[in-house]
Amino acid sequence: MNDNGNKINKPVVSVIIITYNQEDTIAQAIDSVLLQKVDFPYEIILADDASIDRTSAICEHYQSRFPDMIRYVRNKKNKGAVKNYFDAFCVCRGEYIADCAGDDFWIGESRLQEQVEYMREHPAVMMVHANWRVYDTITGNFTLRARDSRYDPGEKIQTGEDSIIKLLHQRGTPYVIPATGIYRFKPVYEFYGRHTALFRDYLCEDIQLAAVCMHLGEVHYLDRETMVYRVGRPSVSNQWDTEKAFRFSIDMFRLRYALARCFNLDMSRLKPYSKKQFALIMRYSVRAGKGEYAREAYRLIKENSESLSVCTRLLYWGVTDKVLSPVIYFLYGKLRKVYHLFVIKNKL
């Protein structure tokens, strides 16, 4: 690990920017953080996961321009986004942590100032988060995600088991995206030290961070836009895309069970999520023509003492049956081609 730049003695905020092969977007991400107008010092941990394009050169250029603010970390080998994030997290020195992915960017110049002031005024709050926009790089359209006016103001404060269960169900409103806000470093770091695998052994980092902050204190929603999240062109999923989607879904299955056990939650309250996720994995099984996807998900559910409805069991039987499954796979493939031809193309 190469760590360059380390001159701000006591930064109030550490901003983590993780990147890998993002030469077209990393400069905008860094610039959006540097634009912040604050009355306190902050540092940027710029974590490059062994990029092989011009990303490294761009990061080195910014570090040379802002040596007192930017600490550039370049990994010798690619670790993956999650391990890269938490390795950067472990070298942070700020009281609060913010982050920005290398292909996203922040909105406005006052985000950090406003969020730090709010956290200082509310010591029970472990994390604040906000609204965000999705930017479609193909159409150029921006979509506001949280639609705050539709939410009950009471839901803007999330804490305890009920809020964690909603988060695990992906039903909490407004949904918590840690990258839209900041969280307290010390209590989360201490929890990380006791439960390191819970953070590092899965394919995402944001669900754990939000859940831990709800467990340790309160998570507050601030009604403003702070971030833009980029998405690309939709496409018909090929075998590799489906494999990645399946692996991510299975990993989220495991993560939610692990969080529920860690916080001693009522496991029966995860049942609605399990049914929804199992149905999603059935679709991946059909799309890829692989009954083993369904079998792996079924084993995971049984390991965690979950039960399935009669309809879900029938679906599982059809997807894994040697006679029925080829017919289901064939029909699904035909319907998907028709859907792509007449629906997806009209949206582009």
Spell out the domain ranges in the chain: 2-231, 239-347
Could you tell me if 221 and 174 are in contact, meaning their C-beta atoms sit under 8 angstroms apart? yes
Q: How much is the average pLDDT of 143-158?
A: 60
DSSP single-letter state for residue 323: T
* Span 214-262, pLDDT tens digits: 999 999 999 889 999 988 744 333 345 778 888 888 898 889 999 999 9
* Span 262-303, pLDDT tens digits: 999 988 888 777 777 777 777 777 777 777 877 887 787 777
Dihedral, CA of residue 260, residue 263, residue 269 and residue 274, to nearest 10: -10
Phi-psi region of 5 (alpha: psi -120 to 50; beta: other; left: phi over 0): left
- Residue 338 pLDDT class (50, 70, 90 cuts): low
Q: CA 124, 128, 256: angle at the middle one, nearest 5? A: 95
* Span 31-75, pLDDT tens digits: 999 999 999 999 999 999 999 999 999 999 999 999 999 999 999
**Distance (Å, whole) CA 108 – CA 237:** 36
Could you tell me if 144 and 153 are in contact, meaning their C-beta atoms sit under 8 angstroms apart? no
**Distance (Å, whole) CA 213 – CA 158:** 9
- Which three-class secondary structure state does DSSP give residue 172? coil
- The third-level CATH classification (topology) of the domain covering 2-231 is Spore Coat Polysaccharide Biosynthesis Protein SpsA; Chain A (3.90.550)
Question: Which distant-in-sequence residues (6+ apart) come within 8 Å of 347 by Cβ?
Answer: 234
3-class SS shares of the chain: helix, strand, coil, % to 5: 50, 20, 30
- Which three-class secondary structure state does DSSP give residue 137? coil
Per-residue confidence (pLDDT) for residue 273, from 0 to 100: 78
pTM of the model: 0.86
Q: How much is the average pLDDT of 136-154?
A: 63
Average pLDDT score over the chain: 85
